[in-house]
A and B are shown apart, each in its own frame.
Chain A
């Protein structure tokens, strides 16, 4: 299917480009653009980025100042770490991670905004339209991205994103440094766990589910699902709804 202009939402750091640079008309030819100016890309909540996909964006682009030039010292570092986690989540949600990118510009490099957009539009064209942008959007992916969104809304992932730099580049509370490899392993585990749990939550809001049913839907081992269920119970996310014969069914608990 041919795919005209990809829908791009671009969050641009207030300090990166001037109004005029952003208003170049050529951009409109390659993409259906929305530009959102923010004080610092490091301040964009990851929830908003995923929400943007849910609303039907084909791609989300963050443009900010290159690492040493951040007006807010480290906002860009935080943005990069956030995007890293979000990409992991997009993979889990079956949405191409290339739909989310972050670009750094530096005043000394003289990068043009149009160039950045053209490159990104090209990348998106290769991918085709987002499965959530179509009229008949993919319900499963929508659910997955919603789950991912809820996962980044939750304290646990946000805490890890917020602490990554300090822990890996400086020292932790015990004065030790955690290697990037170690941290990535932990992050992968947590991202996956949180995604699955929020996926379970999305499912269990619709009707009570058994471990087996969930395992089938999620395509993971029932024993693993059970473990997640136990953790979710501990955290007050779900509760036992009823027992059907020998099968306990679990339901989502509303807001914590």
Chain B
């Protein structure tokens, strides 16, 4: 049997990690040829939606690399990268894709061997995990649907705002003059991620065909009351409407986002 060779997408910041990869090259440090590098100016540029898009299209692993904390060329873009990755890992867990398939590493321009080691290590780790369920010709449809929902969730204002405000909330006082502890924030984030993911799943499911609360609850293996609560929110946001009533069950359908 041919050994499984994972496909890795690497997002490298121009100033530190890309330079570190260059140094690995100049120093002829050998590492496995599994990574394909996409250069970005800053690790803070890496939009969570893009990362999930890579997974949806069959990436076995995604590596985001930036400058060490405090060394960001753009002062603190890497901090945002760190918060985004944290959020993304939660979303991946919700979607049933191993969060270990996503890695964030700091590599400086002087750390050619560190870069090589990171790639080597990640490649081996992914070999251990095996191919992504979305990597084959016929990807696992449930997980794919779930990842697509995660992708949609990562694009919602709620999650993006939360990530963007993490620093402010953690370091400064919020509008009420209170400080949010890291624990409180993490809890809030956990809940929001779960909710947004579920909502996105409902939204995407009802895009193809109208469904009842019961059907949705069954499909998603959650309580009908939970589904109903989310449907209320989605309707309020103008994302979902009642299509028709079958028997005593109202059927809902997704609306095109405005």
Contacts and interface: CB of A to CB of B under 8 A. Distances in A.
A157 interface: no
A19 B30 CA distance: 52
Contacts of B28: 236
A236 B24 CA distance: 12
A102 interface: no
What does DSSP make chain B's interface, helix, strand, loop or mixed? loop
A202 interface: no
A253 interface: yes
A236 B30 CA distance: 9
Contacts of A253: 30
Interface string A244-256: 0000000001000
A236 B112 CA distance: 14
Interface in B1-52: 28-30
A253 B30 CA distance: 10
Interface range on chain A: under 10, 10 to 19, 20 to 34, or 35 or more? under 10
A10 to B, nearest CB: 42
A201 to B, nearest CB: 16
A63 to B, nearest CB: 43
Contacts of B30: 236, 253
A48 to B, nearest CB: 29
Nearest to B116: A239
Interface string B184-228: 000000000000000000000000000000000000000000000
Contacts of A236: 28-30
Nearest to A240: B113
Interface string A224-256: 000000000000100000000000000001000
A241 to B, nearest CB: 12
A236 B28 CA distance: 7
Contacts of B29: 236
A236 B113 CA distance: 12
A253 B120 CA distance: 15
Interface in B60-119: none
B43 to A, nearest CB: 27
A101 to B, nearest CB: 40
B124 to A, nearest CB: 15
A236 B29 CA distance: 7
B114 to A, nearest CB: 12
A47 B30 CA distance: 27
A150 B28 CA distance: 21
A61 to B, nearest CB: 41
B116 to A, nearest CB: 10
B26 to A, nearest CB: 12
Nearest to A254: B30
Interface string A35-59: 0000000000000000000000000
A236 B116 CA distance: 14
A53 to B, nearest CB: 32
Interface in B143-202: none
A38 to B, nearest CB: 36
A236 B26 CA distance: 12
A90 to B, nearest CB: 32
B31 to A, nearest CB: 11
Interface in A137-157: none
A44 B30 CA distance: 33
Interface in A57-103: none
Interface in A10-37: none
Nearest to A235: B28
Interface string A147-172: 00000000000000000000000000
A253 B28 CA distance: 13
B25 to A, nearest CB: 12
Interface in A192-246: 236
A246 to B, nearest CB: 20
A253 B29 CA distance: 11
Nearest to B28: A236
A236 B31 CA distance: 12
A208 B64 CA distance: 32
A253 B31 CA distance: 12
A123 B44 CA distance: 76
A237 B168 CA distance: 50
A42 to B, nearest CB: 33
A242 to B, nearest CB: 12
A78 to B, nearest CB: 31
4 contacts: A236-B28, A236-B29, A236-B30, A253-B30
Closest CB pairs A-B (n = 4): A236-B28, A236-B30, A253-B30, A236-B29
